[in-house]
Amino acid sequence: MTLKRYLTNIDSLIAAIIGFVVIYLFTKYSGVGISPDSIMYASTATNLQAHGTIITFNKGPLVFFPVFYPFFLAVIQFITRVDPIEAGAMINATLFAAVIFTSGWIMEKFISHSRIYKWLILIAIILSPGLLEIYTYLWSETLFIFEMLLFIIAYWRYLQTHSTKALVWVAVIAAISCITRYAGVTVIGAGGLMLLLDNQLAIKKKVGHILLFGIIGVSLLAGNLLMNRINSGLSTGTRYPSITPFVDNLYYFGTVICDWGSLSKAAYPYAAVITSVVLLALIGILLWKAFKGRINSYENIVIAFAVVYGLFIVISASISRYERINSRLLSPMFIPLLIACTSWVPDVLRLVKSKAKYALATVAVLLMLSFEFFTVKTDYQRYDDECDYGVPGYSDDDWNKSEFIVYLRHHQNMFKPGIPIYTDADEAVYFFTRMSSTVIPHKDNKGDVQRFYAQKRFYLIWFTNLYNTELISLPDIMKNKKLVKIGSAKEGDIYLCEEK
């Protein structure tokens, strides 16, 4: 029986191998993509592996991000003795393969199992521009998406017995998800929602299981936040109020859905409506199935996560300021949303008894293939660019071949010990030179700005090709401080402030 179960997933294994190769091809030229977040993760992992400290490259505690992804990288570094940035491409290729295989495993258990449906969805996952972007960067979403799928499998196993032991396993996965990304609270939310809607649980047992799941689920996150508070005085780093209202976030969410669906930008004016329809439809489906007593299935666990995650992103983005809603932020929702929007097709086709179902099935397959054809075109364009220049970020040719980066590397001796270094890109300074520096203050943080201007001596490394409007600008600094240019190259300047 066990052998047969594994043989039924041979197609998932083949798809996983293809996914591994795809990530390898995308990262072959320049390695894994490196962003400022990536440097935070990698430097913390290196310090954790070498010194057992959760310290980033800038000598401060890791607070803005939770601890598990750097810990995961540190374990791999300890075993392989390879720096996370060098190993990043292989780590991501392996994780992407695991995500593909796990997705196939889940679909094998659907109520209306269809081999063709499973193949089409696996192809869509492999070709997804959104997922290919994630798995070509050293980002925590790569691990979080895999954990989310493990949660779905673990919760389905819990549904078979409703045992406390099975629930504990679900809660442990949820807890780890919370310290991989703070958005992991959506995993707890999805589990809590499924428990609440479960009509097979007696009220007393339901309350007990919800409490047990919630307590275990938030335990590691609570510990992480407490540690952050002790180390820095802040639970999740400095957070600012949102500047994008709820309606705008519905719009940005919808534009991502349009891009995922290979729709043209002509659909953007309807983006907020698309978001509303999708979320309300998923909520309606989940509640209807709960009302009919058909809530306990893989499909519904997937829908529950898609609903909770989608609502969390839109609402949290309307409260707290972070990067505008984009494909990266929504990437953990791609597979659940894809399945939630298509898993009903095999169910409907099985209800059709006439020969018309073959015509309907053909139409459904052709629609899916046309969607995948357009995603192939998008993927090929990106692959063509990245084969010539590398994955966008600090590992691409724009940075590696920058005259200013070369200048910085060869003139590190101009920086005298004991004089602080400020910059508008501290991650870049560390990545290319391994020098420690401090990012100039956020212009909305008046206290930090005043402390910065109170400095009598400091160096300023300024990257002229960056435009971070949230930081105080170079003209503003020059109005308040006397800067002397001591070094320069294309795309950057080095200044010295030395006041008596």
Query: Is 293 inside any structural domain?
Result: yes
Residues 86 and 363: their CA atoms lie apart, in Å, by: 45
Supply 35's token pair.
């962003």
**Residue after which a domain boundary falls, among 336, 361, 389:** 389
Residues 342 and 408: their CA atoms lie apart, in Å, by: 52
159/56 same-domain check: yes
What does the angle CA 317 – CA 141 – CA 188 come to, to the nearest 5 degrees? 65
Tell me what the pLDDT averaged over the chain comes to.
91
Q: How far is CA 49 from CA 33, 62, 78, in A?
A: 22, 14, 6
| Parallel, antiparallel or unpaired: strands 457-463 and 421-423 | parallel
Supply 264's token pair.
């043209």
Residues 394 and 307: their CA atoms lie apart, in Å, by: 34
Question: pLDDT for 117-166, tens place per residue?
Answer: 999 999 999 999 999 999 999 999 999 999 999 999 999 999 999 999 99
Supply 47's token pair.
């310090």
144/112 same-domain check: yes
**% of the chain surpassing 90 pLDDT:** 70
Q: Which amino acid is at 28?
A: K
- Give the list of residues 6+ apart from residue 173 with CB closer than 8 angstroms, or none: 147, 150, 151, 154, 187
291/422 same-domain check: no
Query: Is 395 inside any structural domain?
Result: no
314/442 same-domain check: no
Model pTM? 0.92
222/165 same-domain check: yes
379/475 same-domain check: no
Identify which of 74, 79, 76 has the alpha carbon closest to the alpha carbon of residue 45.
74
**% of the chain surpassing 70 pLDDT:** 99
382/491 same-domain check: no
Q: What is the mean pLDDT of residues 30-55?
A: 93
| Residue 1 pLDDT class (50, 70, 90 cuts) | very low
Query: Is 188 inside any structural domain?
Result: yes
Radius of gyration of the chain (CA): 25
Higher-confidence position of 126 and 360: 126
287/426 same-domain check: no
Contact status, residue 450 vs residue 485, Cβ threshold 8 Å = no
Query: Is 179 inside any structural domain?
Result: yes
Query: Is 417 inside any structural domain?
Result: yes
Query: Is 394 inside any structural domain?
Result: no
Contact status, residue 285 vs residue 336, Cβ threshold 8 Å = no
**Residue after which a domain boundary falls, among 335, 357, 389:** 389
429/290 same-domain check: no
Higher-confidence position of 280 and 346: 280
Supply 126's token pair.
């492999």
The pLDDT, as a whole number, for residue 5 is: 61
380/409 same-domain check: no
Question: pLDDT for 235-291, tens place per residue?
Answer: 887 777 888 899 999 999 999 999 998 888 889 999 999 999 999 999 999 999 888
Higher-confidence position of 296 and 156: 156
The pLDDT, as a whole number, for residue 7 is: 67
Residue 429 has pLDDT above 80, yes or no: yes
The pLDDT, as a whole number, for residue 467 is: 79
Residue 78 has pLDDT above 80, yes or no: yes
**Domain count across the chain:** 2
Q: What is the 3-state secondary structure (H, E, C) of the chain?
A: CHHHHHHCCHHHHHHHHHHHHHHHHHHCCCCCECCHHHHHHHHHHHHHHHHCCCECCCCCECCCCCCHHHHHHHHHHHHHCCCHHHHHHHHHHHHHHHHHHHHHHHHCCCCCCCHHHHHHHHHHHHHCHHHHHHCCECCCHHHHHHHHHHHHHHHHHHHHHCCHHHHHHHHHHHHHHHCCCHHHHHHHHHHHHHHHHCCCCCHHHHHHHHHHHHHHHHHHHHHHHHHHHHHHCCCCCCCCECCCCHHHHHHHHHHHHHHHCCCCHHHHHHHHHHHHHHHHHHHHHHHHHHHCCCCCCHHHHHHHHHHHHHHHHHHHHCCECCCCCCHHHHHHHHHHHHHHHHCHHHHHHHHCCCCHHHHHHHHHHHHHHHHHHHHHHHHHHHHHHHHHHCCCCCCCHHHHCCHHHHHHHHCHHHCCCCCCEEECCHHHHHHHHCCCCEECCECCCHHHHHHHHCCCEEEEEEECCCCCCCECCHHHHHHHCCCEEEEEECCEEEEEEECC
281/335 same-domain check: yes
**Residue after which a domain boundary falls, among 333, 356, 389:** 389
198/81 same-domain check: yes
How many CB atoms sit inside 10 A of residue 292's CB? 9
The pLDDT, as a whole number, for residue 389 is: 87
Phi-psi bin for 31: left (phi > 0), alpha (psi -120 to 50), beta? left
Query: Which of 28-42, 212-226, 283-297, 470-484 has the lowest average pLDDT?
Result: 283-297
Residue 234 has pLDDT above 60, yes or no: yes
Q: What is the mean pLDDT of residues 101-112?
A: 88
- Give the list of residues 6+ apart from residue 92 with CB closer than 8 angstroms, or none: 23, 27, 32, 135, 136, 137, 138, 142
Residues 312 and 493: their CA atoms lie apart, in Å, by: 41
Domain range for 242: 2-389
CA-CA-CA-CA torsion for 372, 373, 378, 382, nearest 10 degrees? 90
**How many CA atoms, within 13 angstroms, populate the side-chain half-sphere of residue 376?**
7
Q: What is the mean pLDDT of residues 399-412?
A: 92
Query: Is 396 inside any structural domain?
Result: no
Query: Is 415 inside any structural domain?
Result: yes
